A and B are shown apart, each in its own frame.
Chain A
Amino acid sequence: MDLKIFYNIHYEMPLGIPIALYFYLTGLSAGSFVISVISTIGGRKEYKPIGRIGAVLAPLLLILAPFTLIVDLEQPPRFWHLFLYLNLKSPITYGSFLLTAYPINGLIYAWYLFKGNARLAKILGLIGIPLAICTHGYTGFILALGKGRILWSTALMPTLFIVSAMVSGMALVILAAAIRYAYRYQYTPVEERESDRALILNLGKMMGGMIIADLFLVGNDILVLLTSTQEALHVAHLILFGKFQPFFVGIEILLGGFLPMFMVFLPWTGRSLRGVVVAAVLVMIGVLAMRYVVVVAGQFLPLH
């Protein structure tokens, strides 16, 4: 039967690229913080540089992240309402406290780490891990509670966000460690050079493992969407075959998922520093595409 929409009002997308960018920045921060604490607590001497790199990157990124949120507000000068009029049911309220507590804790942690106070750094790091995971997990809840949007309202969303945060955080730490390696190449003795190199390659393997977990979750999500409601089928087609195919299938899944996973695990690229660095760059682009697809494709379907 012929069916045409004759008149309907223009459809507006409330959340845009600043929000996707915000999710990306918090993800990078949470991921690099967790890597930093794991390598600090692990206690092995050769892991120390990773701990320091993560400790610097995490609070830096998280000081930038809230600005994207405040810029996105229609009334930026009213942002303090978030701390005064609390709605304890809203995930954004949790966010405003987590976004305050987590960078402060991260800065103190970094301070003690660089001062060499290992015991305090460990304690603060242990406090920081749940904070970091919550800071990124709550962004998943923001989307999951968006009841009308079929791509968002899944219980998988917070887990998916945390896992992709780990992936992108590891990629960022790998990049920073590789830059440090190249910069200090002339001044370091051969043994230290070797251990730094082995460390980056090991991180690459860990990243590969997280990519597998990430792809598994995305696959589950898509399979359920394909067999769920009419809207779910539409959104699955939209990202698999429709307008978002280049971003989702092309960049997020193939270029930012499968390709770096194979690069890290295959001996030819996995044992070369260049291969792992290229894989890390691809992963960072892939996760950025993932944030974009989730936020924008999630709001692409009409609701009326």
Chain B
Amino acid sequence: MAEPNTPRHGGPRPGAGRPSSEPTKVIRLPLRLIPAVQALATAPLGTQVPRPDAARLTLPMFGHKVRAGFPSPADDYVEAFLDLNEHLIEHKDATFFVQATGDSMTGAGIQEGNLLVVDRALEARHGDIVIAVIDGDLTVKRLEKLRGKIRLVAENPAYAPIEFTDGQELTIWGVVTSVIQRIKR
């Protein structure tokens, strides 16, 4: 990296004088408008700045935290908010989302474009819908483990099952735990 060149004395000071970054112009304002204009110049984007001559309107704020008067009879019964992540995801670090393509699993309710929740922490068992690696691609099929025979079965009669004989290695990538389908509207 380049050696810093630190001016310690003299020379220009940042922020001093007229801003050099853009052209400026002096304007004359009625005194009562100055606070509003200053507020507008420094307010976060999208802030509504009240007109300076508008009467100030205050509205009461409502919320359970304010306990002036009669407490809400429901307060004791509030437990928590429902969190869909909590419902769908058991192992956060091991859960991945993938997108289904094709029609090989329509019989299991998996349509083209559906979002699949995949949990890699689960040990794949007979009957599970799994993500497996076939010829370097990720595929979704139902796992069959019967009498020592392992098959990956599509849920669509148009596709033949994939059989695994002894010595052929099947890599299971994860177990599908949910299918999320958006309803078009």
Question: Is chain B a partner of chain A in the same complex?
Answer: no
